[in-house]
Structures are given as structure tokens and as C-alpha cells.
Copies of this chain bind each other. A is one copy, B any other.
Amino acid sequence: MLQLDPILDFRLQTGTKGVPPSGDGIALRDVGAQGWRLLDGSIPLPAAVLRASALQQNLTAFQTYIDQAGVKLAPHGKTSMCPQLFDRQLRAGAWGMTVATYAQACTALRYGVTNLMIANELVGETEIRALAQVTDARILSLVDSVAGVERLENILAGTARPFEVLVELGIDGGRTGARGAETALAIARRVAASPVLSLAGVEGYEGLIVTGDAKADAVRVDAFLNDLLHVFATGRDEGLFAGAPILSAGGSAYFDLVARGLKTEGVTTILRSGCYLTHDTGFYKRLLDHVGERAVLGPAPALKPALEVWAQVVSRPEPGLILINAGRRDLSDDSGLPKVETWTRPGKGAAPQAVSDWQFYRMNDQHGYVRVPEAAQVAVGDYVSLSISHPCTTFDRWPLLLEVDDDYRVIGALRTFF
């Protein structure tokens, strides 16, 4: 579906994390034929791996859920910035892709995305002019102020093809987005009257409503979705939309509520979920548990954590402390620290053993600190696997991820573009 040859032809280079000495100069498309096995010591650690079976399950389970809900998915590509994964998301049935920035849009367009939502207001003159010249893709972006609309108009003055934007409704005290329905509607009217812009729909982002009180959060999310619907319905009544209108919200944290709340007759409702693809064992796991408890559209999709970081023990300087060779540059901590899931000694017959009482408690740039039971038999050179919380800020620490089967044989490699 996408044009991935330039990525598959890319030649690996030692110096990139996860590339073994024998991988220097190997084309990415040939990685799966090398016979590398993570557990036998073929791969320098730290390395980030994606479990193929979990990826496939997540792709299918989430798209099925979306299809059954009668809405569309434009997965947020900023999570992985991996066109090879974009391709799988589109093949699984996604309507298009979402990105956050101009640079990310360039990557999506380079590899052939044809329906692209940029979930921000474009403000850079050079970038806006460049995107306005794209003819082989539909590009949607946001506006959240009359000043922003006027800025776009000034930059685009004289262009023939209308530039499609959605008006963004925000939340008081929140991030971007017009504050209040009346402000949003004033912007929508301004866009509708513009000679160079066209109003494609209404957009909001509910994903920052996470206080830890799931029930109260759900009430707030529903209220916000109602506000979005109100702006949308008023805009439709006033005839502000050009063509078939779009209603869009985030859908990573509350995809059930968004799908239920925004599904509307004659409207393309687009969710921009990003983290379903790899899921996690922290922040998004908790949110998925709440989706299951609410069961507003039936059971939650069965998502499995697909992204693991493997590291090697470099020191056990005290009986209850090991240091591993993965730190801030390999793992995120913005939504919770990683968890040590398994431990093994690399070599023939290595079999990861689950550990539950090891505590990853601190990171420096290149080291992780793990408290272990003094009786644990872990030694320098052993491997540990870590699960993560918040895929986005783990992906962006890895220019290359290895795809593995359930026995940790390396069956491919994936490039990211951050």
C-alpha cells in the first residue's frame, strides 16, 4: 500500500542500537534471513523488539472494534513514526494516518500516505506553502483561532485549491483548541467565508483528561464530546462545511467513549488512536482496563504489549543491586518507569523466566538501576526484558527496532523517522 522500497533497501550500520557486527551493510529487507536470535547473544543490547504476534493481534483486534463501532481510524503515526507500521495499519483497514507536525507529515507523504490528518494548526510559512502544493494526498489540519485562520489566508493568498481545515474545540485550562463552543463557531464561520480555506469538520482532543478517577474522567470526556457535537451540529445547520463533514477526536485513552459519542449519521467520524498498536503495561493498560469495565460498546479489544526493550546486566556491585545497560536514552519514564518482566542467561536453550519482585527504580542516561532479591542468581552478562509505559516516548529512542517471533528469532527490522 505504501512505497517502502527506500526503507527496505536501507543498509544497516553498526553504531545503530541493535545492529550486530555481522549486520553492517546488510539491507533492511534481508534482516529476517540472517538467522539472528535475540536469546543466543546475536544482538548487541540494549535492543528494542516488537513481537510480531502481538502486533498482528493488536492491528486486527482494534480495527475490528473500530469497524463494529461504525467509525473510522486514522492512527496517530507520531507514536511510532514507522512507515512500515503505517503500511500495516492502512492494510488492516485504517482510513488514513494522523501526524502531529510538518516534519512528520513529510515522512508520511514521502512513503505514500494519501489521507493525512495533521492534528495541529500549521503556523510555519514555508511549511504551509509546501503542503499546499501537495496534489497526491488529502491533507487536513486544524485551526483554533481567527488569528490562525488569517495567518493561513495571508500565506495561502492566491492559491487555487482550497486548503482543508477542521476547527478545533479545546478545554478550559487544557492545551490547544478554541475555548468554548461560541468561539469555535466564530472560527468555523470565518473559515467558511474564506476564499482559500474550506471547513472540513470539527475536531477535539480528549486524551489529556486523565486524573486517575476513571469514572469522573469519563463524565468529563462525555461532556466534552457533547460540546463537540454541538459545535458540529450548529455548523451543519448553518451550512458551514464544504462537502461530507468530518468529526474527529483522539481515541487512544477513551476510544470507546469517542466512538459511541461521535458516531453520527452522514458523518465521517475519525479516531486518531496511536498507542493501540503496541499497547503497554502501564498507562495505556490501565486505560484499557477502564474501557473493559465501562463496556459501553461491548468488551475492550484484546490488546497485548508488543514493545519490549532488552538490556544486559553490566554490574552487580551490591548483592541487591544490578545495573543494566539501558537508561533514559532507551526507555521513557514520563508515564511511569519500565518494569523488568523476564530474566535469562543468553545462549543455547536460554528461556526467559518471569520475575515479579525486581524493582526498576532509577535511570541515568545509559544505565538502569534494578533492586533484586539478594538470593537471585542473576549475574553480569545476563539479559532482562523490560516492558514500558507510553509507547511514543520509547519509540522515539530507537532509530531501528527488531521484529521477533515468539521464540525471539529476528524476523525483520523496522526503521523510525524522528
Contact = CB atoms under 8 A, between A and B. Distances in A.
A4 interface: no
Contacts of A314: 120-121, 123, 176
Contact of A21 (B130, B208, B315): B130
A367 B175 CA distance: 8
Interface of A: 13-17, 19-21, 41-45, 78, 100-104, 106-107, 110, 120-121, 123-127, 129-130, 144-145, 147-148, 151, 170, 172-179, 208, 312-318, 323, 325, 328-329, 334, 346, 364-367, 369, 379-381, 392-393, 396-397, 399, 417-418
A340 B410 CA distance: 44
A318 to B, nearest CB: 6
A380 B147 contact: yes
Nearest to A362: B175
Nearest to A332: B328
A317 B179 contact: yes
Query: How many copies of the shown chain assemble into the complex?
Result: 2
B365 A392 contact: yes
A173 B151 CA distance: 56
Given A124-B41, A148-B315, A208 B380 contact: no
Contact of A380 (B15, B104, B121, B126): B121
A45 B366 contact: no
Contact of A125 (B41, B101, B145): B41
A15 B148 contact: no
A44 B381 CA distance: 44
A103 B417 CA distance: 19
A104 B46 CA distance: 12
18 contacts: A15-B103, A21-B130, A120-B314, A121-B314, A123-B325, A144-B317, A145-B317, A145-B380, A170-B317, A174-B317, A175-B315, A176-B367, A177-B317, A208-B364, A328-B334, A329-B418, A396-B397, A399-B418
A328 B79 CA distance: 13
Contacts of A124: 41, 44-45, 312, 381
A45 B379 CA distance: 46
A181 B396 CA distance: 40
A106 B13 CA distance: 9
A110 B14 contact: yes
Nearest to A390: B365
A315 B176 contact: yes
Contacts of A317: 144-145, 170, 174-179
A365 to B, nearest CB: 5
B19 A103 contact: yes
B176 A106 contact: no
A225 B170 CA distance: 55
Contacts of A397: 396, 418
A329 B393 contact: yes
Given A107-B15, A145-B316, A178-B317, A127 B366 contact: no
Contacts of A78: 365-366
Nearest 10 CB-CB pairings of A with B: A15-B107, A176-B315, A21-B130, A14-B106, A15-B106, A100-B366, A123-B381, A41-B125, A17-B103, A148-B380
